[in-house]
Structure 1
Amino acid sequence: MKNILFVERLKLKRSNSWLLYFIGPLLGVSLAYINFFKNYDLFMQPGENAWIEVWTQVALFMGPFVLPILVGIYSALICRGEHVGGGWKQLLALPVKHSDIFLGKFLTVVRMVTITMLILLIFFIGVGYITGIEGNLPLFTILGYIIKGIITCLPLILLQLIISIKAKTFGIPLAISIVFTLPAIIVASTPLGQIYPWTQPMLAMSPEDESPIQSYFLFYTLLSGTFIILLVYGLKSFSTRDTY
């Protein structure tokens, strides 16, 4: 597994994917701060923490829009090389378990999402201090939202990875990601939002008083169930095929 992850990192170095680590978070944070200051009087009520209010906007823009699209791009990127010049045949011919190859690609996307979210945290704090956000920074609270965002991306990563492995062009998984991202903000306010992979990150990243989640036990139970189903399906589907 260590060697597989190393090879995946080497392949990504040629794609300039590191630019997305910065572009995505910068876009999400910029939109959040612009909306916050534009509607400052609406968001800032007596007793409200400005940092939390800004983070609510970060979750609103990053969670259902920027982050899911990035997941789609990341998943497509790590499969693009294998779709060119019979790469899957060469890869699957190696004396490596097919399940390890699938898990290696999955963990690679998880690492990419984690890097993205950590950069998001840095941008959020940096811009906050630059723009003079008042109050105490609840660092551990925000870090908790970051971790929840990463965790709730796991089913979406599996889903997009399965699509990217089966699709032979880069555009198909990206188009699917965009199409299902567009209604995410509407779906989030319905009961379906708790099982809709494109809205789950936003729901988890939002403060409890801003999130429509009625039962966190049910939410994470559904999340875990979706993750297990997609993981089992992905492993079985990938392991039983000889070529792509």
Structure 2
Amino acid sequence: MITFEFKKIKKSAIPITLIFFNLVGSLLGTMIFALNRKVLLDGTQAHVLWGQTVFYSSQIFTPILIGIICSISCQFEESNKNWQRLLSIPVKANRIILSKITSLSLVMAISQLIVLLFYIIIALVLKVPFANYLLDFLLWSITGWIATITIVTIQIFLSIRLKNFAVPILISAILAMAGLMTLFIGQGLFRIFPYAQIAVGDRARSLVPFTLSEFILFLVVNSAYIFVFYTLAVRQLKKRFI
């Protein structure tokens, strides 16, 4: 099932979309860093560059990117009536949804690595010393990836529920902006809002490692979202075709 999913991904516009969105987000953050670099202390530049590079990607561009790739993937099933074909084989609905989540989550793992690679390239070009903190940035990329699974699961549910290409993407954009707004409401809301979880995982705002309590909260929040929306997606698929 997962191999079949990757074959469909290769034939779609997802790889190009992946690079484009991550590049735009990284360059936007780099421009803001460059404009403010003169007022930064030398010992903080690597972390500030990380924060600027990943913040716009993780908080705005990546949630929208996930909305797009999930819509592309699910619309492939809608247009070719693959949902019905798979269920008639029969393949269980939970296995179909799990394969979809797994394949797209692996795509988002590649996305996180691309962001990290862009950061390294940008740091080298700007001559920002980062080698001593590279392990931290790698670990934050991994926790950021965990958060992408949450949004992938939500967007798959929305795509199945709405049976539409554009509306789930619009919802992802609105919720991404809502996640940005939670920063102005309070850190408590920001830490639990689903479309802010990638920024939380990437440590885009705090720029310091998780405390134990923060990490436990992060895992609990994301596990809960994934479980709830996975269950809803399976139920919705069954409701439509079984």
Q: How far apart, in 1, do the equivalents of 2:155 and 2:54 lie?
A: 21
Counterpart mapping for 1:2-41 below 5 A: 4-41=1-38
Is 1:29–1:123's contact at 8 Å kept on the other side of the alignment? yes
1:139 aligns with 2:134: yes
Classify the secondary structure of the residue corresponding to 1:169.
coil
- The partner residue of 1:100 within 86, 95, 108 is 95
1:99–1:235 CA contact under 8 A, matched in 2: yes
Cα distance in 2 for residues equivalent to 1:154 and 1:85? 25
Contact 2:192 2:221 in 1 (8 A): yes
Distance in 1 separating the partners of 2:16 and 2:138: 23
Contact 2:112 2:145 in 1 (8 A): yes
Q: Where does residue 203 of structure 2 map in the other structure?
A: 206
2:111 alignment partner, one of 110, 116, 139: 116
Structure 1: 5+ residue stretches without partners:
none
**What are the Cα deviations for residues 152-195 of structure 1, in whole angstroms up to 9, with x where unaligned?**
12221111010111222211111111111122212134222222
Q: Which residue of 2 aligns with 1:229?
A: 228
Corresponding residue SS for 1:182: helix
Aligned partner of 1:169 in structure 2 is 164
TM-score normalised by L of structure 2: 0.88
**Deviation string, structure 1 residues 110-158 (Cα, Å, up to 9, x no partner):** 0111111111111110121122223545211110110011011222111
* Identity, % of aligned positions: 24
Q: How does 1:173-184 map to 2 (within 5 A)?
A: 173-184=168-179
Structure 2 counterpart of 1:66, which letter? F
Instruction: Name segments (4+ residues, structure 1) moved above 3 Å.
Output: 134-137, 207-211
Residue of 57, 71, 91 corresponding to 1:62: 57
Retained in 2: the 8 A contact 1:24–1:116?
A: no
| CA distance in structure 1 between the partners assigned to 2:130 and 2:234 by the alignment | 47
Q: CA deviation at 1:87?
A: 3.3
Classify the secondary structure of the residue corresponding to 1:206: coil
Equivalent-residue separation in structure 1 for 2:6 and 2:123 (angstroms): 32
Deviation at 1:16, TM superposition (A): 2.5
In 2: Cα distance, 1:95 partner to 1:135 partner = 52
Structure 1 residues 124 and 135 mapped into 2: Cα distance closer, same or farther (>3 Å)?
closer
CA–CA distance in 2 between the matches of 1:138 and 1:97? 45
Q: Does 1:47 align with 2:43?
A: yes
Q: Identify if the C-alpha distance between structure 1 residues 239 and 33 changes in structure 2 by more than 3 Å, giving closer, same or farther.
A: same
Q: CA RMSD in A?
A: 2.2
CA distance in 2, matches of 1:224, 1:30: 31
Alpha-carbon distance in structure 1 between the residues aligned to 2:130 and 2:146? 28
Say if 1:74 and 1:112, in contact at 8 Å, map to a contact too: no
Q: Give the Cα separation in 1 of the matches to 2:165 and 2:238.
A: 22
Give secondary structure in 2 for the equivalent of 1:115.
Answer: helix
Match of 1:87 in 2: 82
**Match of 1:106, as an amino acid?**
I
Query: Structure 2 unaligned runs (5+)?
Result: none
Give the Cα–Cα distance (whole angstroms) in 1 for the partners of residues 236 and 163 of structure 2. 16
